[in-house]
Amino acid sequence: MYAIVDIETTGSYAAANGITEISIHVHDGNTVIEKFESLINPRQPIPYYIQAMTGINDKMVANAPTFEMIAEKIHTLLHDKIFIAHNVNFDYSFINAHLKECGFDLNSKKLCTVRLSRKIFPGFPSYSLGRLCQSLGITINDRHRAGGDTEATVKVFELLLQHDKEQHIQKSLQRNSKEAILPPNVPKEHFNKLPYTPGIYYFHNEKGKVVYVGKANNIRYRVNSHFSNNSESRQKQNFMQHVHAISYQTCGTELMSCILESTEIKKRWPVFNSSQKRWEDVYGIFSYEDQNGYQRLAIDKNRKRLHPVYTFHYLVDGHAIIRKLIKDFNLCPKLCFLQKDTGPCEGMNEGYCYGACKQKETAASYNERVKKACDSLRAQPSFAIVDKGLNDEDKSCILVWEGTFYGMGYIPADAQITNPDSLKEYLTTYKENSFIRNLVNGYAARFPSKIIYLNNAGEINPATENLLQWASD
């Protein structure tokens, strides 16, 4: 038994919108055996543009039953039946969310007449209900009303049953089929081609433009998670409505996936990505001379026309760097604003401050060490992160040259990393941003065994390892 359904709503996602009208036609595979149709009071104003589209206004639903009043009837009609709708996940998400609020559990198999029509009637210019019916010679009465759209969907479904020579309907109902969860406009073949490897994936709209970029340690599983959950959020529904194609790029490691995702987001500015669009280094370490002639180090927000010694995104990173500089270069915690109380200098008590805060050390002597500390921040190390590749014949390589992310790619598995110039020939260059810099430095600090440090001559230089340690301190 089938339940062919259409609803009208106050908005595009179930989490914050209500249902204004519902129509259910129970179909036995041959004909409609039962109908139910009702206006519904959504208990919220109907936006004017929806009133104009559907013809349903606030006055019409004022005395209509609320969803709670007819929830049991709706559940009875849908229970143990195959739920069918044109863009099924939209209608199902609304009805399922509202039934849950009323204490009813709906766990129906689903069929989408958009997806089925693309398979059984390929080559049509559009599969919207109106254009599809036009192509099939079906007349729609009361377009954008639940009853009229349901009757049209019934006629579409009956034609699908008649012309389904390759058993697409039965295949869609199989347990392992992804037809019911995928967006209505995405070919299943796009999903079937997704690999079980690290990489990034793209969601494209109808015109082929990238609307979302994501990264994954397992592309197939991650893409599946976007559509298999039961979220009634705006984001989920927007995905379902606007995604028409899926593509991907494989990567050797998850770190490379993260870097490539950030690069692609900055490059393409996808409409559904929110993170990283505004990622930038918020804070910096600044050096200035106080009234006594002593050079001070301070953490402050990054501003235009200021020139920080070093930048970072999180305050905790800045404090960690300052603490290490104090210990490594015998700086005063008070002159670095790490100790802000009026008590005795902790550095003098522990023996690493020579009394600059009490002017017991000359400014010239102290400032020389501050200069060396600042130079150590500017003189960043060159290193390569070497990890598994795409196959047994190569290795992945991420190159940071003098503290700046250079690029990444794949090198022969037996390659010896001793010459940076020859290494660069294998790599694709990418523009650095603060997210990538923090990501790579943090990874280098966590996984030192995967790092090969290089000096400017291209020789291994273990001494530069110290320059990364603040990231893990």
Class of domain 188-268: alpha beta
Instruction: Render pLDDT for 171-213 as a digit per residue (tens, 0 to 9).
Output: 999 877 777 778 888 888 999 999 999 999 999 998 899 999 9
Confidence band, pLDDT 50/70/90 cuts, at residue 466: very low
Report domain extents, the chain.
Answer: 2-173, 188-268, 283-378, 382-471
Three-state SS string over the chain comes to CEEEEEEEECCCCHHHCCEEEEEEEEECCCCEEEEEEEECECCCCCCHHHHHHHCCCHHHHCCCCEHHHHHHHHHHHHCCCEEEECCHHHHHHHHHHHHHHCCCCCCCCEEEHHHHHHHHCCCCCCCCHHHHHHHHCCCCCCCCCHHHHHHHHHHHHHHHHHHCCCCHHHHHHCCCCCCCCCCCCCCHHHHHCCCCCCEEEEEECCCCCEEEEEEECCHHHHHHHHHHCCCCCHHHHHHHHHCCEEEEEECCCHHHHHHHHHHHHHHHCCCCCCCCCCCCCCEEEEEEECCCCCEEEEEEECCCCCCCCEEECCHHHHHHHHHHHHHHHCCCCCCCCCCCCCCCCHHHHHCCCCCHHHCCCCHHHHHHHHHHHHHHHHCCCEEEEEEECCCCCEEEEEEEECCEEEEEEEEECCCCCCCHHHHHCCEEECCCCHHHHHHHHHHHHHCHHHEEEECCCCCECHHHHHHHHHHCC
Its pTM stands at 0.64
Confidence band, pLDDT 50/70/90 cuts, at residue 71: very high
What is the pLDDT averaged over residues 447-464? 62
What's the pLDDT score for residue 233? 61
What's the pLDDT score for residue 232? 59
Confidence band, pLDDT 50/70/90 cuts, at residue 157: very high
Whether 460 has a pLDDT exceeding 80, the answer reads no
What's the pLDDT score for residue 174? 86
What's the pLDDT score for residue 455? 61
Architecture per CATH, domain 2-173, reads as 2-Layer Sandwich (3.30)
Instruction: Render pLDDT for 334-358 as a digit per residue (tens, 0 to 9).
Output: 999 999 998 999 999 999 999 999 9
What is the pLDDT averaged over residues 73-102? 94
Whether 235 has a pLDDT exceeding 80, the answer reads no
What's the pLDDT score for residue 280? 63
What is the pLDDT averaged over residues 241-255? 92
